[in-house]
Amino acid sequence: MDFRRLGRTDIDVSAICLGTMTWGEQNTEKEGHTQMDLAVDRGVNFFDTAELYPIPPNRETQGRTERIIGSWFKARGNRDKIVLATKVVGRTQMNWFRENGELGALTRQQIEFAIDRSLKNLQTDYIDLYQIHWPDRNVTGFGSNPTRWAAPDPAPDENSIESTLEVLNDLVKAGKIRQIGLSNESAWGTMRYVTASERFGYPRVASIQNAYSLVNRTFEVNLAEVAHRENVGLLAYSALAQGYLTGKYRGGATPKGARRTLFDRLQRYEKPGAENAINAYLDLAHEHGLDPSQMAIAFALSRSFMTSVIIGATTLEQLTTNLDAENLALHPELIDRIDAIHQLHGNPSP
């Protein structure tokens, strides 16, 4: 397993990060434990979760994923071997994250409540990487990196980036978190965090977790330069376009137990033009005798701004296939073919 430095910290993380958002919904606690065992045996030292998980979010299941990881730590006694990342929700109309029914926002009170509950759920006294799941400010669209701009009205009670950093700074001083990161953030937001940390001596963001895949390379437009020059590396989620780049949904297929079959939440990868782009990449993989999942993950791993690619699975077979992608090096000629498809189809799934 390849290891890469997390931002400007002294922490090295595996190039493959184990995603966990299916545990507690599509996967049982036992299955989650088995996935963690396999990932660690294969050299993974990096787990990513969130207070929101599992997906899809709802009142009854919220927090289950963290509790599954916590019970694994207790059973295995190996917390010190894992770089653990979790997240606090940003501004949201969902009202079940806080005990008083308050709508989610990045206030001091909510962040402090969230970290304490995550620590309890995870059965640990510190988080290695604490991430802002999405911004507190209103943005054009989820992911904060749109291909089309729409001017959102600012929330009247918007919490500033500086105020968020101040709270995170206090949590670092208290020993509850080691490093901080962003998620679903824009180039503007990322640079505001970087400059504010430098100005006020607050913790510096070490990473940004955004969507990145063959059908969504919007990160390259502005954020890639920020990641490269500021050492705020990408933790890529949805490198398989929520399963579409595996080929399992091709031709409208609805496999038993798959997310598209169970939940109506994959619209990001069902936009006009997406099917043609996805099929082009699937055909390219088959032409070269490659597993399409592994080709997609290997491409993400080859990017100079990539710190780690987050992979998730509901079966051990899927997880093994995804882990094996770390050993696949794509020839320059194949990357040129991928770029040619991208030139024709762009980013149909931002």
Cite the active site residues: 53
Q: Which of these, 6, 3, 2, lies nearest to 178 by C-alpha position?
A: 6
Is there a contact between 305 and 259 (Cβ–Cβ < 8 Å)? no
Rounded Cα–Cα distance for residues 95 and 312 (Å): 27
- For residue 266 the two structure tokens come to 């994959």
CB environment 206-231: b (16+ within 10 A), e (fewer)? bbbbbbbbbbbbbbbeebbebbeebb
- CA-to-CA distance for 127 and 254, rounded, in angstroms? 37
Burial 175-205 (b: 16+ CB within 10 A, else e): ebbbbbbbbbbbbebbbbbbebbeeeebbbb
Residue 56 region by backbone torsions, left for phi larger than 0, else alpha for psi between -120 and 50, else beta: beta
Residue 80 CB contacts under 8 Å (≥ 6 apart), including other chains: none
User: CA–CA separation, 187 vs 208, rounded Å?
Assistant: 10
Strand residue runs (E) in 266-323: 306-311
